[in-house]
Amino acid sequence: MNLKKIGLVLAFLLVSDLTFVGCSGTRQVVASVAPTAEQVEIASRGQISPYDPLLRQAAEEAGMDWRFLAAIACQESRFDPHARSHRGALGLMQVMESVATDFGVPAEQLIDPKVNISMAVRLIQRIERTLRFGNRTSEDDRLRIILACYNAGMGHIIDARRLAVKHGVNHNSWNRLSEYVSIKGSPEWVDDEAVRSGAFDGTETLQFVDKVMARYAEYCEKYI
């Protein structure tokens, strides 16, 4: 990696906000800080994080882009395997203990980066199977809707999709679906028959999706 690219990576690290978001949609925000010595050294080697090999392996086995997983990990925990949200999401990918239990994995194993990444990948695969995207769904729409489910839980996003369908809107278009994610929890919509998962403030989820996709785009430009 040349000096110009290293500089761009360090600048990206510096301005990235440190947001920890679990599957529940809650988050904790702390101030941006300068890159650590470890991050500087990692960037100089052309790596995103020390967990690149694990992310690459998990992504290859699942047929995913490892940079997409890395973007989630950065947004969720800033690559801290010991990160914990106040709602109980754990590890690099901020996986909820209930997710590990669903997959038959003891919750205490979520601090293991390999296990944590594996659980996140399995969750993403479950989301995609459940949503059954149409053949014409674009890759960008697919990833954004998956991220919304990853952050908010499938129930709230499926509610929004039902609202979209009810009003004749393409539920596989994130541009249109995001409108219903935004309004789903408002008083005039929360009692609609299509809303089955209760009230929900979609603001954090919409921000999460935008930030992860922006970071993913950055990673695609800088890493192979």
- DSSP 8-state secondary structure symbol assigned to residue 206: H
- In sequence order, what DSSP letters do the residues of 161-181 get, joined into one string? HHHHHHTT--TT-HHHHHHHH
Amino acid present at 101 = T
What tokens appear for 201 in the block? 């403030």
The CA-CA-CA angle for residues 51, 224, 90, to 5°, reads: 25
Specify the amino acid at residue 213.
M
Q: Which of 38, 76, 108, 218 is catalytic?
A: 76
102-128 in b/e form (b: 16+ CB < 10 A) is: eeebebeebebbebbbbbbbbbbeebe
Structure tokens that stand for 194 in this block: 């299509």
34 DSSP 8-state letter: P
Q: In whole angstroms, give the CA distance from residue 188 to residue 153.
A: 22
CA distances for 175 relative to 144, 151, 161, 189, angstroms = 10, 17, 12, 19
Is 128 a known active-site residue?
A: no
Catalytic sites, residue numbers: 76
